Structure 1
Amino acid sequence: MLRLHRPKVYARYSRVEASHLRRQILFLVGGLGVGVAAVLMARAADLAQDGFRAGVAAWPWLPLIVTPAGFALSCLLARNWFPGSQGSGIPQVIAARKLPSTETSGHLVSLRIAGGKILLMLLGLVAGGSLGREGPTVQVGAAIMQAAGRVASIRRSSLLLAGGAAGVAAAFNTPLAGIVFAIEELSRSFDSKASGIVIMTVMLAGLTAQMLLGDYTYFGSSYVTLAPGVAWIAVPAVAVVGGALGGLFNRINVVWSRRVPGKLGVFIRRRPIVTAALLGLLVAILGLASGSDVSGTGYEAARAAIHQTPADVSLWYGPAKLLATLASTLSGIPGGIFSPSLSIGAGLGLDVAYLLNVDAVQAIALLGMCAYLAGVVQAPLTSVVIVQEMTLNHSMLLPLMLVALIAGKISSLIAPEGVYHALARNFAVPPPAPPADDKATTADSARDSV
């Protein structure tokens, strides 16, 4: 009898082995794809920013023309040709994970949206927008993993989680932060069934990025410390400032995305392209008025603030960068807020250090990065881990944890939840019906500022 059933056992075992092999190939292809995409996006983003700065060096008034025109064109293309590509992309991934398995997620995460995301993000950067590439990398990574997962029977939510985490890890060269981001922000829980997929995809994407770019620390190794004494006064001060402004940024984004009341709201809904152009003009004016480069990710300013040249960063930089990032986000053009938030926090930290007249300027700038990011996303653990991995500064771990916890609490008093999860709700339910006198409102008007 055993001999009669043995061929069936072998056949079943072969099917299991084939399924396991398909999964391994999926992880390999998906992880490598996310890593390559992250590197290419980083290179292209740098070139786009360099192009804008070269133009400004030759014609200082150029942003007054290029930035409004670029914002208007990017908004137009995003609405008409690549719907679902607006904003950072992280809310779309969160919303896609919450969809029932019977519903398609192609309107939130797909290779078409990923392609449009990259192109329009680069358009926004070359036009001088205050945008990041890490949020878009999350959406692109999720799209790659979802596409690769069609050949294997793996839950879509797990694939999206793995792709998003790998996007963060490869973009910043922070593998631990990618895993923590997946747990604390994308899923808001520990999923034991998806943990193996996430870790393996993060590892492959991270290794791919390191092979192409080399092993590096995003902001360079930092060795600053916060000595006991007067410098610790800066911890609650930075936490309150970063948490309050981060919460305010969060609250304005959510209100804007869900319908601004009054005549202003009617104008925004009827004239989204004109609104984007006006916000682009505001970004250009902020750069000229503050004397600071508020365009792009803000990487150079953040690095200068936490190393040896904080004097190179104007005291107006933090507030100007915050307003420029807010205007860029509200315009609805594709682009993230992760890197700009770190840069804003560094600038605000310098301002706090100046007002308190303390010497530990670089250390307080580092605290500012963590405080403002925690205020925006309300994910303290992710904020601490990502800043620590970006700088490899172990001596600042305790004050970073303290400032992130305080900032998160302060932010929650202004905004009920983090900006990504709040904006993800715009995709979970249909937008409210337009008023009778607002015939020009389109179906996706409530989703533009994500």
Structure 2
Amino acid sequence: MRRLARVRTLKWHRTIMYCTGAVLIGIISVIFAHIGDWAAELRYHVVARNPWSMLVIAPLGLVAISWLTRLLFNGAQGSGIPQTIATLHMHNFVLVDRILTLRIALGKILMTCLGLICGASIGREGPSVQIGASIMHAFSRAMGQHNDVTRHGMILAGGAAGMAAAFNTPLAGVVFAIEELAHSFEQKASGRTLTVIIFSGITAIALLGNYTYFGRTNVFIPVGRAWLAVLVCGVSGGLAGGIFARLVIRLSKGLPAFLGRFSSRFPLVFVALCGLLLALIGLASDGATYGTGYLQARGIVDGSLHYPASFFLLKYISMLITFCSGIPGGMFAPSLAIGAGMGGWAEQFLPHTSPGGVVLLGMAAYFCGVAQSPLTATIIVMEICDNQQVTLALLATAFLSFGVSRMVCPRPLYSALATGFLEKTEQMARQVSHDRLEK
């Protein structure tokens, strides 16, 4: 009986630790959201007062971010999702301890928000995944966990909770954990993941209220001629997203020819040039391509804003330039903005489908084209707009986009980036071990 009591006490202790970590993820996600909104608002006021000032702010800001990241937060570069996926395949937890640290999590928050001030085309949802994984990994270490499956389960739960709290989409967080992070469903880990996501989501709702990311829409897409939009959005979104994913995978291996040599020799100068290009694109778009694209996407969804095709084309280019700069930041929110822009432009050619419905289909199609996660794309768009009436059309669009994207880019974006990151990390670890042996 004493042994049984100790086991039960240990289980309750672990459950309390899980819940505490989940609540902390929710609180930090809310703080991150507030700081990110403040950063975007500051940039908006700067651009409204003097748009040309971004020609100085963007280059100098990106240089400062790159320098600070290398000096103080080395390892915070990139989206955060590939890094989290890579740790789920690592069994050397000395390396995991170096990737999922609270210092890097802090760097993700600070550098991402600074990037939003400087006009970089980034989002905070990808970094939130690594931040959530880092928090739960820290709790795992505090509990003295040694089992690989349990520690990986904690990382998985934290990453999914971070994404769910950032978007306030708990169901999408569960599907994201299965479809993108783990690519599998393991019974014990699933219960832990659900617990962490629920408590993290409750915390976010308690602090921010029961809001939806893009408000509420009541559009409906009946089966029939209106489904022509499914075909158009699915093919165009899959093609554009697949090309983007293929380009990012290629660029992650190094810039081609002269650009690669120049960026290696003069890294800060190259980053400054990236910032200058972002500022020029921002000037050409009247500031619409800066930041996450949240305001633009929300305006397109509710019909209050209308943009020409140049919006999503310039946003597309600005995302590629931002990725080349190597600063911390995610791709989720900008991808949704590009998809909304594509749908908002295509709706004029699809009179048999409600305009708002085309926008939602465009968001799901492009998002799925980039990430190649059809279920996540469907559920995240459904939840951020609080609309279950278009679920079937969203599913059809996402799976069509998935098929088209796979033909263009056979390897899923985040899995390919995670593989590259894993190879580089293990190579660096071997080099360090070799140098120590020589000494």
Band of TM-score, shorter chain: over 0.9
Provide the residue aligned with 1:191 in structure 2. Answer: 186
Deviates further, 35-44 or 94-103: 94-103
Q: Which amino acid aligns with 2:122?
A: L
Matches within 5 A, 1:25-424: 25-152=16-143, 153=145, 155-311=150-306, 313-356=307-350, 360-424=354-418
Change (3 A) 1:124 1:18: same
Provide the residue aligned with 2:435 in structure 1. Answer: none
Measured after TM superposition, the shift of residue 430 of structure 1 is 2.8
Measured after TM superposition, the shift of residue 287 of structure 1 is 1.5
Measured after TM superposition, the shift of residue 245 of structure 1 is 1.1
Q: Which amino acid aligns with 2:403?
A: K
Provide the secondary structure at the position in 1 that maps to 2:95: coil
Measured after TM superposition, the shift of residue 310 of structure 1 is 3.9
- The answer for unaligned runs of 5 or more in structure 1 is 1-8, 434-442, 444-450
Provide the secondary structure at the position in 1 that maps to 2:418: helix
Paired residues of 2:47 and 2:287 also in contact (CA < 8 A)? no
1:15, 1:94 → 2: CA distance? 34
Q: Which amino acid aligns with 1:371?
A: A
User: C-alpha offsets along residues 47-93 of structure 1, whole Å, 9 cap, x if unaligned?
Assistant: 00000110111111011111111111111222232121111101110
Measured after TM superposition, the shift of residue 314 of structure 1 is 3.8
Deviates further, 28-37 or 99-108: 99-108
The structure in which a higher percent of residues are helix is 2
Change (3 A) 1:17 1:407: same
Deviates further, 302-311 or 372-381: 302-311
Q: Give the alignment's Cα RMSD to 1 decimal.
A: 1.9
Using structure 2 for the length normalisation, give the TM-score.
0.93
Measured after TM superposition, the shift of residue 357 of structure 1 is 5.6
1:296, 1:346 → 2: CA distance? 15
Paired residues of 1:83 and 1:107 also in contact (CA < 8 A)? no
1:404, 1:171 → 2: CA distance? 22
Provide the secondary structure at the position in 2 that maps to 1:333: coil
User: C-alpha offsets along residues 355-392 of structure 1, whole Å, 9 cap, x if unaligned?
Assistant: 45656221111101000000010000000011001112
2:426, 2:179 → 1: CA distance? 30
Measured after TM superposition, the shift of residue 102 of structure 1 is 4.8
Paired residues of 2:227 and 2:353 also in contact (CA < 8 A)? no
1:16, 1:277 → 2: CA distance? 57
User: C-alpha offsets along residues 232-275 of structure 1, whole Å, 9 cap, x if unaligned?
Assistant: 22211111111111111111111111123322221122222222
Q: Which amino acid aligns with 2:189?
A: A
Q: Which amino acid aligns with 1:70?
A: G
User: C-alpha offsets along residues 168-212 of structure 1, whole Å, 9 cap, x if unaligned?
Assistant: 111111110000000000000001120111000001100000100
Q: Which amino acid aligns with 1:385?
A: I
Deviates further, 144-153 or 123-132: 144-153
Measured after TM superposition, the shift of residue 157 of structure 1 is 0.7
Change (3 A) 1:427 1:308: closer
Q: Which amino acid aligns with 1:122?
A: C
Identity %: 42
Provide the secondary structure at the position in 2 that maps to 1:241: helix
Paired residues of 1:162 and 1:198 also in contact (CA < 8 A)? yes
Paired residues of 1:22 and 1:151 also in contact (CA < 8 A)? no
Q: Which amino acid aligns with 1:163?
A: G
1:69, 1:252 → 2: CA distance? 26
User: C-alpha offsets along residues 296-347 of structure 1, whole Å, 9 cap, x if unaligned?
Assistant: 1111111111213243x34321111111122112211111110111011000
Change (3 A) 1:31 1:431: closer
Q: Which amino acid aligns with 1:382?
A: T
Q: Which amino acid aligns with 1:144?
A: I
Measured after TM superposition, the shift of residue 101 of structure 1 is 4.7
Q: Which amino acid aligns with 1:121?
A: T
- The answer for unaligned runs of 5 or more in structure 2 is 433-439
1:75, 1:355 → 2: CA distance? 43
Paired residues of 1:84 and 1:92 also in contact (CA < 8 A)? no
Q: Which amino acid aligns with 1:258?
A: K
1:86, 1:38 → 2: CA distance? 19
2:399, 2:409 → 1: CA distance? 15
Q: Which amino acid aligns with 1:417?
A: R
Change (3 A) 1:397 1:432: same
Matches within 5 A, 1:436-447: none
Deviates further, 335-344 or 263-272: 263-272
Paired residues of 1:375 and 1:407 also in contact (CA < 8 A)? yes
1:324, 1:388 → 2: CA distance? 27
